Amino acid sequence: MKASVKRQWIEDLRSGDFPQGKHKLWYQKGVAGPKYYCCLWVLGERQCPDAPEGESADSLHGGRYQESLGEVLSDETSRKLGLTQADQTYLARMNDGGGDFEAIANWIEANVSEEADDE
């Protein structure tokens, strides 16, 4: 993962700007309700806002509830971001198992490999 992408992801997780959700990349109650994020979609929304994971299954419950179509990033999005499948799986389990964004950011800092940004 590019160093700048990793750094931004960690900052976003610690910012408090992304309410944490579980079991979906994101979900929202109603059209104007708050949006809740898995740690993976905090990364995806910032870096790949047009990725298919950002599409909504908004027909659920008569449109009163929207959610992502998946629970993890697609292989294509993961490759683009430089996130291994093993790291993604671990982070999804950590997120859904009760790890808060601060603990997740700490794990990313220590364990997600990074490469230099292109000059």
Q: What is the mean pLDDT of residues 77-102?
A: 92
| Domain contains 119 | no
Q: Answer whether residue 27 is part of any domain.
A: yes
Q: How many domains does the chain have?
A: 1
Looking at residue 111, what is its pLDDT?
95
Q: Kindly report the pTM of this predicted structure.
A: 0.84
Backbone angles phi, psi at 68, to 5 degrees: -65, 160
Indicate if the pLDDT at residue 108 is higher than 90.
yes
Residue 117 maps to a domain: no
Tell me which residue range forms the domain holding 83: 3-111
Answer yes or no: is 116 within a domain.
no
Residues whose CB falls within 8 Å of the CB of residue 79, separated by 6 or more in sequence, listed in order: none
User: Is 32 domain-assigned?
Assistant: yes
- Indicate whether 33 belongs to any domain: yes
pLDDT tens string 2-19: 999 999 999 999 999 999
